[in-house]
Structure 1
């Protein structure tokens, strides 16, 4: 059976690790990247898009990704076609409707609703 001192030391190490991980995530480099993304996404507008096509980026394994071509209407009512190269919509097919966010100043910059919510909330 372990001694009481060893148990206390183990608990102290776990608490110190948890505090360090919390600080690193909320005040370290991840927090800075998250704040930059929040600033960038402030101009993004939510809309419904239709998946026009999907294709592989040609890589195999870890670098494999799907490139999604989508059509949506911007705030002016114009139809816009843009691509999104993230594996954000793995179960979607051509013709499916999805919610996306796009940059009102750069219509080619689109992200999935899931990614937007992950960063902004």
Structure 2
């Protein structure tokens, strides 16, 4: 996934360069390309740091921890969508009523845990 993201960033910067350089010159194209690169690179790093690392299933619901060890979302499951055995989208509602949406790819988790989470989500979402 990181390779695809890096390729996306390279293609995006090249597209910005190809669009800006003929109209405004090489200097502005370089500045714009650098800005686009910085924005996309920072967004990639932020996404990687906030990516779910640990899940805990408890009697009150599910809690999700990021790679940095911070609590990303916690609450009971109020909604669920599943696309085959590939992707699971959960809606968690915390005690304050705020909704957190999580998109979980099957290859992020152990297959048995993914299946268990999907069954729990379907059961909780329809209750």
Structure with greater contact order relative to length (CA < 8 Å, sep ≥ 6): 1
Q: Give the TM-score of the pair, scaled to structure 2.
A: 0.29
Q: Give the TM-score of the pair, scaled to structure 1.
A: 0.30
Q: Report the structure, 1 or 2, having the larger helix content.
A: 2
Larger Rg: 1
